[in-house]
Structure 1
Amino acid sequence: MYKVRVVMSFGGAHNLRNYNGKCENLHGHNWKVEAYLKGDELNETEMLVDFTIMKKRLKEILETLDHKYLNEQVEFFKVNNPTSENIARYIYQGLKETFGKLTDRVAVWETDIQAAEYWEQE
């Protein structure tokens, strides 16, 4: 089995709905994102996926979030609470559109000491 990872970041603002605490107020983060693909076969170049392609796709997804007020400017978060868990799911689903079953998991770091991950069971 092979696994590749790309790390990028984006900045944005959100507030949590149905939450009683500081995070119910509008605030921002610089989220760090780790995206993983995995598979058991390499391509003709003996790569799982070219990092250039993986980085390009992740950047496209993150551009839909970067410097946005997630609650109001991203359709997905008008319905889904913009928690780190749901941000990880949003990014995962975007990667899956391109990489299909190679999509392994996404980790979203809200701070240096806390992160949420999303993946789907096979």
Structure 2
Amino acid sequence: MYFLKVISHFDSAHYLRQYSGKCSNIHGHTWKIEVTVKGSKLNHQGLLIDFGDLKTLLAKVTDQFDHKLINNVDGFTDDELNPTAENLAYYIYNKFQVALPEHVAVHQVEVWESEKSCAIYSEER
């Protein structure tokens, strides 16, 4: 199995709904996003998928959050997902997966909200 990882970041704000702590107030992060994909077959060039294609795809998924209030982004409004790091990882995982070629799958998505705190989503057990 081959694994590739791309890393990006964006700046945005959020607040947690139905939370009784400081994070219920609007606050911002420089979010670091790491996406790892996997596959067992390389193409005729010896690539699983081009890193440039992965970076472009990651930008398409995350640009909607850059310099925005995540609570106002489709998928995270009042009756949808609470904009936790866990839910961001889940959301990015699913958006990324449907855009990949058939022979490549998302292995995991890491969403870092600080240098010391991240959430990881993977469908593997």
The TM tier, using the shorter chain, reads over 0.9
User: Following superposition of structure 1 onto structure 2, how do residues 1-122 of structure 1 map, counting pairs within 5 Å?
Assistant: 1-72=1-72, 74-78=73-77, 79-99=80-100, 102-121=105-124
Give the partner amino acid of 1:115. Answer: C
Q: Provide, for residues 32-75 of structure 1, a one-character-per-residue CA deviation record: whole Å limited to 9, x for no partner.
A: 00001001111111111100100000011110111110112x11
TM-score by length of 2: 0.92
- 1:76 maps to a residue whose letter is G
Aligned CA-pair RMSD: 1.2
Amino acid at match of 2:6: V
Find the residue that maps to 1:38 and give its secondary structure: strand
CA distance in 1, matches of 2:64, 2:105: 22
| TM-score, length of structure 1 as denominator length | 0.94
Instruction: Give structure 1 regions of 4+ aligned residues with deviation exceeding 6 angstroms.
Output: none
Percent sequence identity over aligned pairs = 41
Amino acid at match of 1:13: A
**Which stretches in structure 1 are left out of the alignment for 5+ residues?**
none
